[in-house]
Structure 1
Amino acid sequence: MVKFIWKFRPGLFMCVDLHIHSIYSDGTSTPEELINEAHRLKLRAVSVTDHDTVAGTREALHYGGKTGMTVLSGLEVSAMHRDISLHLLGYGVDPEHAELGKWLLRLQQGRNTRNLNIFEKLRKLGLDVEIDELRRFSSCGQTGRPHIARLLMQKGVAKDMNQAFRLYLRRGAPAWAKRFTYSAAETIAAIHRAGGLAVLAHPGQIDPGMKVQPRLVDELAEYGLDGLEVYYPSHPRSMQKQLLELARKHRLIVTGGSDFHGANRAANALAGGKNGFCPPDDIILNINERIAEKRHAKPRP
């Protein structure tokens, strides 16, 4: 059995949601609130996958143990491959892995540097904003552009999150700033060293036409990619079918999650709700088996 997953109890629930964000990155719910809501929705398993930190998943594991909810440890990391920006989910990682903590620290420092650069650009554009004001929106976790967008909304500079990104924060906008990221190969290796599986998050967003993904997945599989997030709210059935074929080609596990952020992304509701989004519950067993398989595999000579 996987070490960093609370006991699986078959027959109780139906859906899983393995892509959820908390206040420890750019979500608006605490891990405890997320676990309680997942329990109310009768989800079989969840994973809190905050950006560049395991603080949220550590807390979620604690509350999962209290409620009996199956919780898989996780995180989400931005990475680059060639000129492609992508996100990798790490499942089953050891939240107390010292090397992973040090590795993540550089990403966290990169976020802080980017935030300073963004605020400098916003002030040059004539906006009356100070970085200390972000504490109202991000008091305990990784602070990023969604928090800056909420500040701009509060000040009346933008009417909603989309406008804040379109006018100021997205790539190519006047206040956009790049930040440090590791390569995809480095990220996959770091997740593996921490005992986890590396899964390509929302692959359909990389190219909605699905022209880029076949070569990309081929190359990431060479680095040891373990899975694809096939079930995602914006992936239509036709795209899911193509992604399933890619997963079969490379013997990759299939995962799914809502990418829930709470009020920061209201359109993405937790799985199991009225929107009908419901990644199948065999996902958690497949992940569990794959992690156990990798941990018992003989080391390569």
Structure 2
Amino acid sequence: MDKFIDLHVHSTASDGTCTPAELVKLAHKTGLLAIALTDHDSVDGIEEALMAADRFQLELIPGTEFSTEYHGKEIHVVGLYIDYKNKALTDQLRQFRDFRDHRNEKMVLRLQEEGFSITYNDLLKTFPDCVLTRAHIARYLSDTKQVSSISEVFDKYIGDGCRCYVDRPKVTPMDAVSLIHQAGGTAFLAHPCLYKMNRRELTAMLDELAGAGLDGIEAVYSCNQGSDEKDFKALAEHYHMIISGGSDFHGTNKPYIKLGTGKGNLKIPYRILENIKTYHQKEK
């Protein structure tokens, strides 16, 4: 019988809508053998997820997803098997949270100037114990019927370059690789299909990331199209890297992405995780 996993999953500790425990329960119900909790710039949900995983006898990989910047593009780097209590890591994530909080406050003020009824306290009350992101702002405006959809908020107001958008300081992908390694983890370039890079641009970035010690590429992903998976696996082989795979599940914030199966046809075999574990043990 085939065994499947999902190594890219988000909870309410960042911008997902399932709690860490709910994610584990859903993964168990779905028949997955393992998931990696990879909240954006956060490890706050890992403890809860590990306890739930123990109850459901599910393999839980501690992870995080760094938001970084490379030549004006937002690039994400996923860390798996991180020491989520590592001080250098938690200090950096705390700094990210401080930056994000100030950014959110500025975007809320700009939305108020556009006529929206929203305050930062509204967000804190509606989404307690969460790392607030643009997704929470969009969900609040959608849930309070001030817009027709979450996508409208991003397309018109808080998407990159829109009139209520506020940028924030970011580390480079190479910095993220270094932080993940400091925390004992294995670093993967997340969802390369989303960056709209041509081959030359992507290989130029991978040259730099390889030099920084990037371990792998998330070659199996929900939004891959055409020959993407084949191409990314070939790139991983070229750079002597390993591969990972994930759905990028966010719950109802991305209702078209299902845990474990993505848009319906995603299958991430357990052998991918076995290869990562073997690699990780060798690198320790």
Residues in 2 aligned to 1:201 and 1:274: alpha-carbon distance in whole angstroms: 17
Contact preservation (8 Å) 1:41, 1:273? no
Q: Which residue does 2:19 correspond to in 1?
A: 30
Structure 1 residue runs of 4 or more that deviate by more than 4 Å after TM superposition: 208-211
Contact preservation (8 Å) 2:79, 2:187? yes
Q: Which residue does 1:67 correspond to in 2?
A: 56
Task: Map residues 147-186 of structure 1 onto 2, 5 A cutoff.
Answer: 147-186=136-175
Q: Does 1:220 align with 2:209?
A: yes
Contact preservation (8 Å) 1:22, 1:30? yes
Q: Which residue does 1:7 correspond to in 2?
A: none
Residues in 2 aligned to 1:81 and 1:57: alpha-carbon distance in whole angstroms: 28
Residues in 2 aligned to 1:209 and 1:166: alpha-carbon distance in whole angstroms: 24
Q: Does 1:243 align with 2:224?
A: no
Contact preservation (8 Å) 1:230, 1:255? yes
What TM-score comes out, normalization by structure 2 length?
0.95
RMSD over aligned Cα atoms: 1.6
Q: Which residue does 1:277 correspond to in 2?
A: 266
Contact preservation (8 Å) 2:53, 2:59? yes
Shift of 1:208: 6.1
Residue 69 of structure 2: SS of its match in structure 1?
Answer: strand
Stretches of structure 2 that go unaligned for 5 or more consecutive residues are: none
Task: Map residues 256-295 of structure 1 onto 2, 5 A cutoff.
Answer: 256-272=245-261, 275-295=264-284
Q: Does 1:131 align with 2:123?
A: no
Q: Which residue does 2:6 correspond to in 1?
A: 17
Residues in 1 aligned to 2:200 and 2:126: alpha-carbon distance in whole angstroms: 38
* 1:193-219 CA-partner distances (Å, limit 9, x unpaired): 000011111111011654521221121
* 1:45-100 CA-partner distances (Å, limit 9, x unpaired): 10111111111122212211222101111011101123232001010001111221
Matched residue pairs, number? 284
Residue 72 of structure 1: SS of its match in structure 2?
Answer: strand
Shift of 1:234: 0.8
2:184 to 175, 185, 195: 195
Residues in 2 aligned to 1:20 and 1:275: alpha-carbon distance in whole angstroms: 16
Contact preservation (8 Å) 1:137, 1:150? no
Moved more, 266-275 or 136-145: 266-275
What TM-score comes out, normalization by structure 1 length?
0.90
Shift of 1:178: 0.4
Moved more, 50-59 or 251-260: 50-59
Residues in 2 aligned to 1:257 and 1:83: alpha-carbon distance in whole angstroms: 25
